[in-house]
Amino acid sequence: MKPVQALALVVLLVGGAGALIYRSASAPAPPTSGIAIGGPFSLTGPGGKTVTDADFRGKYLLIYFGYTHCPDACPTTLGDLASAYDALTPAERARVAAAFITVDPERDTPKIMGDYAAAFGPEFIGLTGNPQDLRKLEAAFHVYAEKHPLAHGDYAMDHTSIIYVMGPDGRFVGVIGDDTKPADIARRLRDFGV
């Protein structure tokens, strides 16, 4: 997949509308139905603790792939998720967790991810891992993530920007677009059964 200058928006319809942001206009549109999304994972959380998908059984898990150096989409989406939590009742909040999974393991250590995610609220956990495990997980979620060189040797990460909703049994339930307003995120979570 070759990166190009233009930013294209690709819409994914899998159990609900959501948006995927790609820098590559040549990126193929993801399949929209009949595909498996998600799967088991074992990643590293704050303090080096191993965190698996099974740790979230019994809760709805909101997964967002991004990185801590992200200038816009990641902090905005996580901020909107934090505001959506405020719109939920205490009982509903108890049934929801959020995982921020890095697409930039080169810079995002467990401490950096843990501190970054915790800044959005106690429901958030930042996860990282070795590049091979993260690539497998990205493939399981059909996430696009690619390094984009910047001036002076720095880089950004072009990546899918969507919230994945996994049910209490660990199975994929649907998606929420990263541009969804907090009140609508809360409403969508209730629609999913929270």
What CATH number has the domain bearing residue 86? 3.40.30.10
- Quote the CA–CA distance of 120 and 49 in Å, as a whole number: 20
- Quote the CA–CA distance of 41 and 44 in Å, as a whole number: 10
Percent of the residues in the chain that have a pLDDT greater than 90, as a whole number: 76
Domain range for 99: 50-192
- Residue carrying the six token digits 């993801």: 30
Assigned domain for 20 exists: no
Assigned domain for 34 exists: no
The mean per-residue pLDDT over the stretch 162-172 comes to 96
Assigned domain for 105 exists: yes
- In DSSP notation, 112-168 reads HHHHHHHTT-TTEEEEB--HHHHHHHHHHTT--EEEEE-GGG-EEEEE--EEEEE-T
Assigned domain for 134 exists: yes
pLDDT tens per residue, range 50-87: 999 999 999 999 999 999 999 999 999 999 999 999 99
User: What pTM was computed for the model?
Assistant: 0.82
| Band of pLDDT at residue 192, cut at 50, 70 and 90 | very high
Assigned domain for 9 exists: no
Assigned domain for 83 exists: yes
- Quote the CA–CA distance of 90 and 67 in Å, as a whole number: 29
The domain tally of the chain equals: 1
Assigned domain for 21 exists: no
| Band of pLDDT at residue 13, cut at 50, 70 and 90 | very low
Residue 60's SS3 state is strand
pLDDT tens per residue, range 107-157: 999 999 999 999 999 989 999 999 999 999 999 999 999 998 998 889 999
Confidence (pLDDT) at 34: 66
Assigned domain for 130 exists: yes
- Residue carrying the six token digits 């998600």: 38
